[in-house]
């Protein structure tokens, strides 16, 4: 039992060392503010045959939608979506040059948007040396490392998704709280005006009755 536990511990240490030492694909994560009737574009120079993935999601503003399109170096539109809340676009480049991807809020006149995007470039390298060129099956330790690596990637994606959902829900809650506050202030003002109107109306009834009584006695 002790020997088996020590072996498992060693396997975990080796797997973590391999995962931490493995280089990852290059990428950029940004959260940008997109004013109303505005557009933001980003540019990236890429070689031919390189894979890239664009993930984006609107965190706050309006109906949580945005226009997005991607152009290759020749000006050809390879991706275009209108009024999307979130999406993912994987692509492998066919020509070398500067690729452009833009987020547009030009269809909105009043609402500002906050957009999160993750632009990943390149294929993820293998976590083990010569893994793609091996002719023999993976050992138990190597298989465990691959499984852990895939699970960690899944955890990272889930954390990013839930973090964005939390930010979006918080924005909606703050917006709803503001609307409720304005509605409460409006109701208070209406009740105040109605109360004053009722008092003035009742006062006018008594004034007319008193005037009529004075005229009759005379």
Q: Give 216 or 8, the one with higher predicted confidence.
A: 216
Say which range, 18-22, 103-107, 124-128, has the weakest mean pLDDT: 18-22
Q: Give whole-number Cα distances, 187 to 149, 175, 184, 192, 198, in Å.
A: 57, 18, 5, 8, 16
Over the chain, what is the mean pLDDT? 78
DSSP label of 208: H
Share of the chain above pLDDT 90, in %: 31
Query: For the chain, what are the domain ranges?
Result: 24-125, 140-200
Q: Distance between alpha carbon 68 and the CA centroid of its chain, in Å?
A: 14
pLDDT tens digit string along 2-30?
434 443 443 343 444 444 444 445 678 88
Instruction: Please give the CATH number for the structural domain made up of 24-125.
Output: 2.60.120.380
Mean pLDDT across 78-98: 92
Tokens of 194: 């109605």
Residue 213 pLDDT class (50, 70, 90 cuts): low
* Rounded Cα–Cα distance for residues 70 and 119 (Å): 12
Predicted TM-score of the model (pTM) = 0.60
pLDDT at residue 128, as a whole number: 60
pLDDT at residue 91, as a whole number: 93
pLDDT at residue 8, as a whole number: 46
Above 60 in pLDDT, residue 64? yes
| Residue 95 phi, psi (nearest 5) | -135, 155
Q: Which helix (H) or strand (E) holds 46?
A: strand 39-46
Above 90 in pLDDT, residue 137? no
Share of the chain above pLDDT 70, in %: 76
Above 70 in pLDDT, residue 116? yes
Above 90 in pLDDT, residue 163? no
pLDDT at residue 158, as a whole number: 78
Q: Give 156 or 65, the one with higher predicted confidence.
A: 65
């Amino acid at each position: 039992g002790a020997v088996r536990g020590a072996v498992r511990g060693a396997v975990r240490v080796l797997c973590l060392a391999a995962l931490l030492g493995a280089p990852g694909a290059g990428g950029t994560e940004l959260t940008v503010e997109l004013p109303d009737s505005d557009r933001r574009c980003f540019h990236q120079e890429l070689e031919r045959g390189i894979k890239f993935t664009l993930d984006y999601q609107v965190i706050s503003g309006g109906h949580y939608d945005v226009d997005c399109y991607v152009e290759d170096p020749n000006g050809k539109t390879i991706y275009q979506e209108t009024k999307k809340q979130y999406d993912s676009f994987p692509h492998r480049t066919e020509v070398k040059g500067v690729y452009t991807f833009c987020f547009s809020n030009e269809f909105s006149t009043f609402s500002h948007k906050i957009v999160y995007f993750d632009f990943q470039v390149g294929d993820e390298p293998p976590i083990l040396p010569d893994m793609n060129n091996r002719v023999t099956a993976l050992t138990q330790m190597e298989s465990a490392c691959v499984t852990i690596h895939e699970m960690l990637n899944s955890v990272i994606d889930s954390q990013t998704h839930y973090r964005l959902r939390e930010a979006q829900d918080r924005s909606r809650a703050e917006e709803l709280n503001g609307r409720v506050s304005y509605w409460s202030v409006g109701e208070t003002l209406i009740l105040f005006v109605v109360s004053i109107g009722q008092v003035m109306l009742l006062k006018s009834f008594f004034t007319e009755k008193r005037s009529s009584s004075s005229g009759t006695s005379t």
